[in-house]
Chain A
Amino acid sequence: MSELTLTVMRLGFLAVLWLFVIVAVQVIRSDLFGTRVTQRGSRRGGSGDTRTQQARQGAAPPHQRQQQQQGAGRQRRGSPTKLVVSEGTLTGTTVALHGQTITLGRAHDSTIVLDDDYASSRHARIYPDRDGQWIVEDLGSTNGTYLDRTRLTTPIPIPLGAPIRIGKTVIELRK
């Protein structure tokens, strides 16, 4: 093999190796310039891309309207299959519902460990009753658990999609 070919291959290999590194860095560029930072507590207050924010806003109707209708709220048929955290630091966390009791609180052995200043260590639990209806019960928390705007005093069935509020965290049951 001639000396020239080997030199070209040697430099070519280094070039290709660096090209790979540069391409890899280009791939993660989106992390630096395309992030959306959401402040805890103010869900709409993020300083990110306004278009996506509006799109999200459009998709999620304001909660006030929902609350006015709460009294006459009609419950959807069908049982929920998952529990979704829709607001707070854990936004996006989902837990599949398989008939197990779900505990919520700051205690580390909770099913959903809340990192929320307003949550108690054993805040609330969500469990199915004999008919498979999911029930939420407040476990004597300091700041209370809210189903829509009403503070829970007794165990109460959860309508599908109704927001359960614990501090700044909002949890919903979805199909």
Chain B
Amino acid sequence: MSISNTTTIGAIDAPSRRNTELLLLVFAVAIAVFAYLNVGLALDGKVPSGVLGYALGLAALAGVAHLVVRKFARYADPLLLPLATLLNGIGLVFIWRLDQSQRLIHLAKISYGHFTPSAPKQMLYSAIGVALFVAVLLLLKDHRVLQRYTYVSMFVALVLLIAPVFFPAQFGARIWIRIPGFGSLQPGEFAKIIIAIFFSGYLMVKRDALALASRRFMGIYLPRGRDLGPILVIWALSILILVFETDLGTSLLFFGLFVVMLYVATERTSWIVFGLLMSAVGAVGVATFEPHVQARVTAWLDPFGCYKTSGSCQQIGDALMSFGSGGTLGTGLGQGNSDLIGFAANADFILSTVGEELGLAGTMAILLCYGLIVERGIRTALAARDPFGKLLAVGLSSGFAIQVFVVAGGVMGLIPLTGMTLPFMAYGGSSVLANWALIGILIRISDTARRPAPAPAPSPDAEMTQVVRP
């Protein structure tokens, strides 16, 4: 996509399409309630008692979000909100389903001495997430305002990325900030949004220098040495995150986002080549001396070779087997054994429950829903008129896409597993909050982008035109 475009692309009649959104929202809530009923019937043989509360709660959240969009972002994209609601609703059902598992209850009692169900907490996080979504739409009247905070957001993002170093590692990675009496926070999720704001503001100013000042060598444009500065800085930072926080996911997301946005801003393929080379060098370099990363790579290469000796190998092996036992059409909701994964079955590994209980068909549908969210984001970028909005929409949606790829690829054994959450579905407050805020910003940009041009003002001279006869 070029951001110095020569054409404007818009819908013929840009209707607000709010009613389409409402219908799809009703459909999405109905699917989630159906899933809840199905799980209850499969597990106990009777309609679960919480179904009314769940249905009303989800419908209330969706309804509030819809009314706010109808009032404050009339021309926004009609698909983003229903897709996010569907994923969040189905995610809640899966988390609730794993709460019912006797194995996981037993495991929690052994490890922590008590068991607290996750689904009510996740429902609360979803409600806070929708509140944040509403707040974004109410407070952010124009996304161009964010451009003013380019360097402030760079600073905030750096603080958020560096802060977890000073907190004790949990589960082998330092990605949490622990606030006493409140709980823990995963700042990387919020840094994703804030860093996209910084990159778009920065690249909007610098893209001409980065795109034009280059030499042609062997068919590709080589950037000048001094223009390599920023990419080297970002690369070094992401390597540092990898070394000190042993967090592969954030590091990959951070660097990948920058390379994608560089490519979009400058239209130079050479950036992608450089980016891939540098990340390969960095990954291989770090993997040779960092034991935590090494363990992940071993688990990825041969999960069944070390199945009995290493916890992470066992998790990956169990996840692969749950995908396998799901087959094409799945075992049916509530009838799988993905709870054997044990630790993080409802967080990083929630996709393997989807894979087992809904099968290939269901997993594809869920991944398509993610794909559609990304598509709507890129589409918003195409339609946006200002370069900052274009870059921000591309940045947010590609960040979302990279996150889905990294976690889904990790669970499926395509790439080494990293500690990231599947947006909207996985259990975790920070993730749900940050992704609702992300959808809010995308809806704000798409409202500005799809808003039809105001009708031409009646010419003040129109009534003065008269035929003068001799």
Report whether B385 and A91 are in contact in the complex, using a CB–CB cutoff of 8 Å. Answer: yes
Report whether B11 and A25 are in contact in the complex, using a CB–CB cutoff of 8 Å. Answer: no
User: Per a CB cutoff under 8 Å, which of A21, A61, A74 touches B369?
Assistant: A21
Report whether A66 and B454 are in contact in the complex, using a CB–CB cutoff of 8 Å. Answer: no
B28 at interface by CB-CB < 8 Å: yes
Known: A28-B376, A35-B12. A14 touches B358 (CB 8 A): yes
Chain A contact residues: helix, strand, loop or mixed: mixed
A140 at interface by CB-CB < 8 Å: no
B367 to chain A, nearest CB (A): 10
Count class of interface residues, chain B? 35 or more
Determine the residue in chain A with the shortest Cβ distance to B373. A24
What is the CA–CA distance of A92 and B384 in the complex, to the nearest angstrom? 11
User: Per a CB cutoff under 8 Å, which of A73, A84, A89 touches B461?
Assistant: A73
What is the CA–CA distance of A90 and B28 in the complex, to the nearest angstrom? 36
Report whether A37 and B7 are in contact in the complex, using a CB–CB cutoff of 8 Å. Answer: yes
User: Per a CB cutoff under 8 Å, which of A1, A89, A113, A159 touches B5?
Assistant: A89
B38 to chain A, nearest CB (A): 5
A64 to chain B, nearest CB (A): 11
Report whether A113 and B329 are in contact in the complex, using a CB–CB cutoff of 8 Å. Answer: no
Interface string of B1-31 (1 = CB under 8 A from A): 0001111111111000100100010011001
B335 to chain A, nearest CB (A): 7
A86 at interface by CB-CB < 8 Å: yes
Report whether B20 and A27 are in contact in the complex, using a CB–CB cutoff of 8 Å. Answer: yes
Known: A24-B83, A91-B385, A108-B205. A36 touches B461 (CB 8 A): no
B362 at interface by CB-CB < 8 Å: yes
Report whether A10 and B333 are in contact in the complex, using a CB–CB cutoff of 8 Å. Answer: yes
B99 at interface by CB-CB < 8 Å: no
Report whether B453 and A91 are in contact in the complex, using a CB–CB cutoff of 8 Å. Answer: yes
* Residues in B whose Cβ lies below 8 Å from that of A40: 5-8
User: Per a CB cutoff under 8 Å, which of B7, B204, B332, B465 touches A10?
Assistant: B332
Report whether A9 and B41 are in contact in the complex, using a CB–CB cutoff of 8 Å. Answer: yes
B267 at interface by CB-CB < 8 Å: no
B188 at interface by CB-CB < 8 Å: no
B261 at interface by CB-CB < 8 Å: no
A55 to chain B, nearest CB (A): 10
Report whether A28 and B79 are in contact in the complex, using a CB–CB cutoff of 8 Å. Answer: yes
B62 at interface by CB-CB < 8 Å: no
B206 to chain A, nearest CB (A): 9
A41 to chain B, nearest CB (A): 8
Report whether B7 and A38 are in contact in the complex, using a CB–CB cutoff of 8 Å. Answer: yes
B372 at interface by CB-CB < 8 Å: yes
The residues in A between 1 and 21 inclusive whose CB is less than 8 angstroms from any CB of B are 1, 5-7, 9-14, 16-18, 20-21
* Residues in A whose Cβ lies below 8 Å from that of B24: 20, 23-24, 27
* Residues in B whose Cβ lies below 8 Å from that of A92: 385, 451-454
A147 to chain B, nearest CB (A): 14
Known: A31-B379, A73-B460. A39 touches B11 (CB 8 A): no
B35 at interface by CB-CB < 8 Å: yes
Report whether B460 and A27 are in contact in the complex, using a CB–CB cutoff of 8 Å. Answer: no
Report whether A24 and B82 are in contact in the complex, using a CB–CB cutoff of 8 Å. Answer: yes
What is the CA–CA distance of A66 and B462 in the complex, to the nearest angstrom? 8
Report whether B34 and A16 are in contact in the complex, using a CB–CB cutoff of 8 Å. Answer: yes
B455 at interface by CB-CB < 8 Å: yes
B227 at interface by CB-CB < 8 Å: no
Determine the residue in chain A with the shortest Cβ distance to B361. A14
* Residues in A whose Cβ lies below 8 Å from that of B368: 21
Known: A10-B332, A65-B461. A37 touches B13 (CB 8 A): no
A16 to chain B, nearest CB (A): 6
User: Per a CB cutoff under 8 Å, which of A1, A21, A108 touches B372?
Assistant: A21
Report whether B362 and A20 are in contact in the complex, using a CB–CB cutoff of 8 Å. Answer: no
Give the most central of A18, A65, A89: most B CB within 10 Å: A89
Give the most central of A14, A69, A90, A93: most B CB within 10 Å: A14
What is the CA–CA distance of A36 and B34 in the complex, to the nearest angstrom? 40
What is the CA–CA distance of A37 and B205 in the complex, to the nearest angstrom? 27
A68 to chain B, nearest CB (A): 8
* Residues in B whose Cβ lies below 8 Å from that of A66: 459, 461
Report whether A86 and B10 are in contact in the complex, using a CB–CB cutoff of 8 Å. Answer: no
What is the CA–CA distance of A89 and B389 in the complex, to the nearest angstrom? 14
* Residues in A whose Cβ lies below 8 Å from that of B375: 28
Known: A9-B38, A14-B330, A65-B465. A21 touches B453 (CB 8 A): no
User: Per a CB cutoff under 8 Å, which of A7, A48, A108 touches B332?
Assistant: A7
What is the CA–CA distance of A16 and B24 in the complex, to the nearest angstrom? 12
B388 to chain A, nearest CB (A): 8
What is the CA–CA distance of A160 and B7 in the complex, to the nearest angstrom? 28
User: Per a CB cutoff under 8 Å, which of B12, B79, B335, B456 touches A60?
Assistant: B456
Report whether A37 and B9 are in contact in the complex, using a CB–CB cutoff of 8 Å. Answer: yes
Report whether B361 and A18 are in contact in the complex, using a CB–CB cutoff of 8 Å. Answer: yes
What is the CA–CA distance of A61 and B35 in the complex, to the nearest angstrom? 57
4 A-B pairs with the lowest CB-CB distances in the bound complex, closest first? A92-B453, A10-B332, A60-B456, A69-B461
B residues in contact (CB < 8 Å) with A: 4-13, 17, 20, 24, 27-28, 31, 34-35, 38, 41-42, 45, 78-79, 82-83, 86, 204-205, 329-333, 335, 358-359, 361-362, 365-366, 368-369, 372, 375-376, 379, 385-388, 451-462, 464-465
